[in-house]
Chain A
Amino acid sequence: MRSFNYAIAENKQGLAAALEKGYKIKAGGIDLLDMMKERIDKSDRIVSIAQLKDLRGIRERDGGVAIGALTTLRELTENEMLRRKFPALADSIDNAATPQVREVATIGGNILQRPRCWYFRRAEYDCLRKGGQTCFAVNGDNTYHSIYPMGSCHITHPSNIAPAFVAVGAQFVASDGRTSKTYEARDFFVRPSEDVMREHKLPQNEFVTEIFLPKLPDKSAYVEVKEKQSFDWPLAACVATYADTKWNVVLAHVAPIPVRAVAAESLLGDRADIDEALAQQASEAAVADAQPMTQNGFRVHIAKAVVRRALLKACGKDFTA
């Protein structure tokens, strides 16, 4: 590992000052340290935010729920209120990584993590996202890459939890140490066509303090399909939520950002109860504009399956029949 300067922020102002000097935040450190060990991230200034205790915890507020950015995934899965009222979120967290990782990984770090693309993660591939000229996935092995084209880079967004936030219209609250700023989850993630080197809109001088869920859904479900049941990323995953007589359907691991299946949402209309036939139709609508690459066509089929399943599961129905 390269040597680096390590600072510990004692409060938000201290953190903001460190960010101004180009420090990079270490929360759980799960993704950052991996990136540094692989010498993909060459940061020489790291600031720990572990001491910022007020960024930690889950509180009910203004009819919604505020989750501190430093809350660990384990703490979230142990929250009975969230499990009861927003099972899709709890299920998606249960399925993230491993028990050891969930013990340390934070929810803020999860939504801000870098992509898992195996070309991006290898120093010898000077890919677009690292400032190079080529997306190696196009002619390479793209089995696990995007099936929705959104520009010249074909990553899939690595968080299987972010889609739940997108589905319920969560807000990511950020701070620069003086004022706070709110980003809509639905407008937070960046397509490669907008900026190929970023996955989100948070600027260097800001940090996420909390994730605010204004309202928990009446119904929700999360379904993912993965090759291996222990520690694997999904081939496709879907969150379906029903609130205010509207469905929200968000797909994960199929595109460079968590992607809303708008066609499916409008097809479902305001129907609270969904039967097999309607779920099937919605799932077909959800993948109608998918454009797989050379090796990942099968994942269109799997994306369709997770949409159908998430809708039926949200309505308490058996999707394996």
Chain B
Amino acid sequence: MSETSANNPMEKTLPRPDVRQKVTGMARYTADQYPAKVLHARAIRFPFGKGLLAEADVQKARSIPGVISVEVQKGKEASYAGAVVGRIVAESKDALEDAMEALNATYAMMPPRTNPMKLYAGVPQAEAADEAKLKEIFEGEGVKVVEATYTTQVQTHSCLEPHGTVADVRQDSAEAWVSTQAVMAQEDAVSNTTGLPASKVTVHSEFVGGGFGSKFSLGSEGTMACRVSKEKGRPVRAILNRREEHSDGGNRPGSIQYMKIAVKDDGGIVGGRVHLVNTVDADGGGGGIRNPNYYKFGNIVRTEDDLSLNGGKPQAFRAPGFPQGSFALESMMDELAAAVKMDPVAFRKLNETSERRKSQFDQGAELIGWKDRKPDGTTPGRIKVGYGCGAASWGNGKGKCSADCEIHRTGEVEVRVGIQDIGTGASAVVTDTAAWHLGLPRTMVTGKVGNSDFPPGPGSGGSVTTRMTVPAVRDSAENALTELKKELATVWKTEPEKIAYKEGVFTNPATNQSVPWKDACAMMSSASVVGHGRFNEEYWGGGSSDTVQFVKVEVDSETGVVKVKKVVAIQAAGQICNKLTAENQICGGVIQGISFALFEQRILDPVTGGQVNADFINYKIAGPVDIPEIVPVLDIRDTDTGARSIGEPTTIPTAGAIANAVANALGVRVRHLPITPKRVLEAMQEQKGKTA
């Protein structure tokens, strides 16, 4: 933060440059692309958990006017609702859907695996040496032992813009619009699918309505669009509908997390047993739970396993494995604190591994009003108030990115990076970083992303986009400025290094005359100069993106309804490129965390295995009234350099903090997500049963 400038992004809260396009509907997403003569393709999907498509009236479907082709894979075993068992191509969406209906498909069904707790085999025996070690830990003198099983649900990505590709594959080149979080990777994918060289392929992803980890690959719909386009010689649209999106668009696998942890009377955690189960699809894989984490958990014997369900395949999902792990471990932290009668914040600080987070805990406690926290379940009246907290972190490793900064003779600047803006404001980051570094008003600079012909940048995974893009953009701006100085040096008959530049004004070293930006640019011998930039360590800061969140909830003890009233989210963020976008990322992470904690869950019918809530009516996501006051705090210290990741850590601790606040409010703990009224009432009933 050494540089100060008139357009320092920390001192301004500028909306992203494309905000007008987005709110007026002018921004054109993949699903908005209708090239001339476009065909529509859609997969035929098995609607139940397990079985096969038995009969389908293909002839009738083909006879629908406008239907181009109908392919059905009879007898192919399907292992989840949404599995592809054929495809239809038609001249219009209506013809396509008429053909789907005309198929009048019948299915052979087998009993599906839908309920993880019914299939859970319990905690396996550890190795003999580990069991001996555990015995020692649990029987140690002056230790308290807490044993609990936590579960989390399957959460679907629920991207507002569904997965989709519009492909136009011609004889010797191809163009594709893909809703993706990895535009460069899709160029290769389209190339591989069509057999065309990558240099002849252009992928557009100028606007993307969310990815959350589910849009790294071209997907079966993208592959289908490319193949059919090549085959038919016409552009093809393959856009998932909402139901396909929920059932086959990716998900965060559910979990069963067993923890048995010993803690000393002084609050120090000794260690214990952790067994983790990922509830994944029939093929297995895609899981991985980050538990334990962040705190000094001592000596842990940890095992992990997969449990197969007849549901859609997991995909990477915003901090894969972390929110579910955090929910269990933050719940356990509060249960341990209670066992040794310590304040949860004091207990966390005692077992913290990070000095930064210790201070964040102090700051957060102050901002949420932790001093008002009452002992568990002691608020008078039916509406109980509770407070909870949790922590997280994220790494900031090095990476690769390149950028071009082009200064035009008109003075306008265009910066191109082969990244994508999946809704985070990445294009604002590109624009504002270049404007700031060049000392120009934002109106002079256009940041462009989402095109595979641009200099390659990273896919948006692991919260890398900003921290890798910013150094490359700064480097490109610096090199472009050098190129411009070379042009001026020729005119002024001097050395480029001798030309001073500050805040849009060049100084001619010979005459000491000030030349404003536009006048200087007009002196160029060519239409423009280009500076090539790459990720470099000079502008990279590393460090940790530490996070602490505090929440305040109200729980209706009569109905079990939980309302989050306030969230304080403290986030180590490093160099800020656009303050509003950074704070927006924090709020978005918190909202997704609230939604995970209280509402979202994939519901599979226990008999047929169909997803009965594959829509936005029954798959519940936090709406405006469910969103509390959120206080985003950018924790930036003098020693911090470089842009840091904030996309993922912001969604990790929210659910655990909410669970702890609910337990504090009620004096009863809900160990299962989502914390619905049903779960709250059942937990209270169970508690009543115990005390009666």
Contacts of A179 in B (CB 8 A): none
Is the CB of A298 closer than 8 A to any CB of chain B? yes
What 1/0 flags go to A98-132 for Cβ under 8 Å of B? 00000000000000000010110011110000000
Contact B98 A2 (CB under 8 A): yes
What 1/0 flags go to A226-253 for Cβ under 8 Å of B? 1111111001000000000000000000
B595–chain A nearest beta-carbon distance, Å: 9
Among B383, B617, B625, B677, which residue has its beta carbon within 8 angstroms of that of A225? B677
Give complex CA distance A229, B559 in Å. Answer: 13
Among A141, A232, A321, which residue has its beta carbon within 8 angstroms of that of B382? A321
B269–chain A nearest beta-carbon distance, Å: 35
Contact A301 B681 (CB under 8 A): yes
CB nearest neighbor in B for A299: B678
Among A1, A230, A232, which residue has its beta carbon within 8 angstroms of that of B97? A1
Contact A139 B626 (CB under 8 A): no
Contact A229 B623 (CB under 8 A): yes
Give complex CA distance A236, B560 in Å. Answer: 13
Is the CB of B359 closer than 8 A to any CB of chain A? no
CB nearest neighbor in A for B47: A124
Among A118, A229, A301, A321, which residue has its beta carbon within 8 angstroms of that of B618? A118
Contact B606 A228 (CB under 8 A): no
Interface segment out of the listed B291-299, B501-509, B608-616: B608-616
CB nearest neighbor in A for B48: A124
Q: A227-B599, A227-B620 in contact; A140/B626 too (CB < 8 A)?
A: no
CB nearest neighbor in B for A39: B101
Q: A141-B605, A235-B677, A305-B559 in contact; A230/B381 too (CB < 8 A)?
A: no
A127–chain B nearest beta-carbon distance, Å: 12
Is the CB of B363 closer than 8 A to any CB of chain A? no
What 1/0 flags go to B418-460 for Cβ under 8 Å of A? 0000000000000000000000000000000000000000000
Among A3, A141, A228, A302, which residue has its beta carbon within 8 angstroms of that of B623? A228
Q: A2-B94, A118-B618, A124-B48 in contact; A230/B625 too (CB < 8 A)?
A: yes
Contacts of A320 in B (CB 8 A): 381-383, 556
Among B94, B612, B622, which residue has its beta carbon within 8 angstroms of that of A1? B94
Contact B563 A229 (CB under 8 A): yes
Give complex CA distance A244, B94 in Å. Answer: 56
Contact A321 B381 (CB under 8 A): yes
Give complex CA distance A23, B115 in Å. Answer: 44
Contact B47 A227 (CB under 8 A): no
SS of A interface (majority): loop
Contacts of A298 in B (CB 8 A): 560, 677-678, 681-682
Contacts of B620 in A (CB 8 A): 227-228, 232
Give complex CA distance A226, B625 in Å. Answer: 12
Contacts of B101 in A (CB 8 A): 2, 39, 123
Contact B622 A230 (CB under 8 A): yes
Is the CB of B607 closer than 8 A to any CB of chain A? yes
**B 71-88 contacts with A by CB, 8 A:** none
Give complex CA distance A55, B626 in Å. Answer: 36
Is the CB of B11 closer than 8 A to any CB of chain A? no
Q: A320-B381, A321-B381 in contact; A229/B626 too (CB < 8 A)?
A: yes
Give complex CA distance A1, B47 in Å. Answer: 19
Contacts of A227 in B (CB 8 A): 561, 598-599, 620, 676-677
CB nearest neighbor in A for B105: A124
Among B556, B622, B678, B681, which residue has its beta carbon within 8 angstroms of that of A228? B622
A268–chain B nearest beta-carbon distance, Å: 20
CB nearest neighbor in B for A296: B678
Is the CB of B519 closer than 8 A to any CB of chain A? no
Contact B623 A231 (CB under 8 A): yes
Is the CB of B203 closer than 8 A to any CB of chain A? no
Is the CB of B624 closer than 8 A to any CB of chain A? yes
Is the CB of B147 closer than 8 A to any CB of chain A? no
Contact B678 A141 (CB under 8 A): no
Q: A227-B561, A228-B623 in contact; A140/B381 too (CB < 8 A)?
A: no
Contact A228 B682 (CB under 8 A): no
Give complex CA distance A122, B626 in Å. Answer: 28
Give the interface size bracket for A toward B: 20 to 34
Is the CB of B55 closer than 8 A to any CB of chain A? no
Is the CB of A143 closer than 8 A to any CB of chain B? yes
Give complex CA distance A124, B608 in Å. Answer: 10
Give complex CA distance A228, B598 in Å. Answer: 8
Is the CB of A136 closer than 8 A to any CB of chain B? yes
Give complex CA distance A226, B678 in Å. Answer: 11
Which of B561, B598, B622 has most chain A Cβ within 10 Å?
Answer: B561
Contact A230 B623 (CB under 8 A): yes
Give complex CA distance A319, B559 in Å. Answer: 12
CB nearest neighbor in B for A123: B101
B96–chain A nearest beta-carbon distance, Å: 11
Contact A230 B626 (CB under 8 A): yes
Q: A235-B677, A298-B677 in contact; A225/B97 too (CB < 8 A)?
A: no
Contacts of B603 in A (CB 8 A): 141
What 1/0 flags go to A131-147 for Cβ under 8 Å of B? 00000100111010000
Contacts of A231 in B (CB 8 A): 623
Contact B559 A140 (CB under 8 A): no
What 1/0 flags go to B670-692 for Cβ under 8 Å of A? 00000011100110000000000
B615–chain A nearest beta-carbon distance, Å: 8
A125–chain B nearest beta-carbon distance, Å: 8
Contacts of A3 in B (CB 8 A): 94
B658–chain A nearest beta-carbon distance, Å: 14
B598–chain A nearest beta-carbon distance, Å: 8
CB nearest neighbor in B for A319: B382
CB nearest neighbor in A for B95: A3
CB nearest neighbor in B for A229: B625
B526–chain A nearest beta-carbon distance, Å: 52
Contact B623 A122 (CB under 8 A): no
Among A116, A140, A302, which residue has its beta carbon within 8 angstroms of that of B607? A140
Contacts of B48 in A (CB 8 A): 124
B162–chain A nearest beta-carbon distance, Å: 15
Give complex CA distance A81, B185 in Å. Answer: 62
Contact A136 B608 (CB under 8 A): yes
Contact A225 B559 (CB under 8 A): yes
CB nearest neighbor in B for A306: B559
Give complex CA distance A51, B334 in Å. Answer: 62
Is the CB of B558 closer than 8 A to any CB of chain A? yes
A32–chain B nearest beta-carbon distance, Å: 16
Among A39, A140, A232, A305, which residue has its beta carbon within 8 angstroms of that of B612? A140
Q: A124-B47, A302-B677 in contact; A119/B612 too (CB < 8 A)?
A: yes
**A 265-321 contacts with B by CB, 8 A:** 298, 301-302, 305, 319-321
Which of B382, B618, B677 has most chain A Cβ within 10 Å?
Answer: B677
What 1/0 flags go to B571-614 for Cβ under 8 Å of A? 00000000000000000000000000011000101111010110
Give complex CA distance A122, B612 in Å. Answer: 8
Give complex CA distance A232, B606 in Å. Answer: 23
Give complex CA distance A231, B623 in Å. Answer: 7
Give complex CA distance A305, B620 in Å. Answer: 23
**A 208-233 contacts with B by CB, 8 A:** 225-232
Give complex CA distance A124, B623 in Å. Answer: 29
Contacts of B625 in A (CB 8 A): 229-230
Give complex CA distance A123, B47 in Å. Answer: 10
B476–chain A nearest beta-carbon distance, Å: 43
Contact A139 B610 (CB under 8 A): no
25 A–B contacts from the bound complex (CB under 8 Å): A118-B612, A119-B612, A122-B47, A122-B610, A140-B605, A140-B608, A141-B603, A141-B605, A225-B556, A225-B559, A225-B561, A227-B620, A228-B620, A228-B626, A229-B563, A229-B625, A230-B623, A230-B625, A232-B620, A298-B677, A302-B559, A305-B559, A319-B382, A320-B383, A321-B381
- Chain A: residues with CB nearer than 8 A to chain B? 1-3, 39, 116, 118-119, 122-125, 136, 139-141, 143, 225-232, 235, 298, 301-302, 305, 319-321
A-B contact sample (16 more), CB < 8 A, given A118-B612, A228-B623: A2-B97, A118-B613, A118-B618, A119-B605, A124-B47, A124-B610, A136-B607, A139-B606, A227-B599, A228-B620, A228-B622, A228-B626, A229-B625, A235-B559, A302-B677, A305-B558
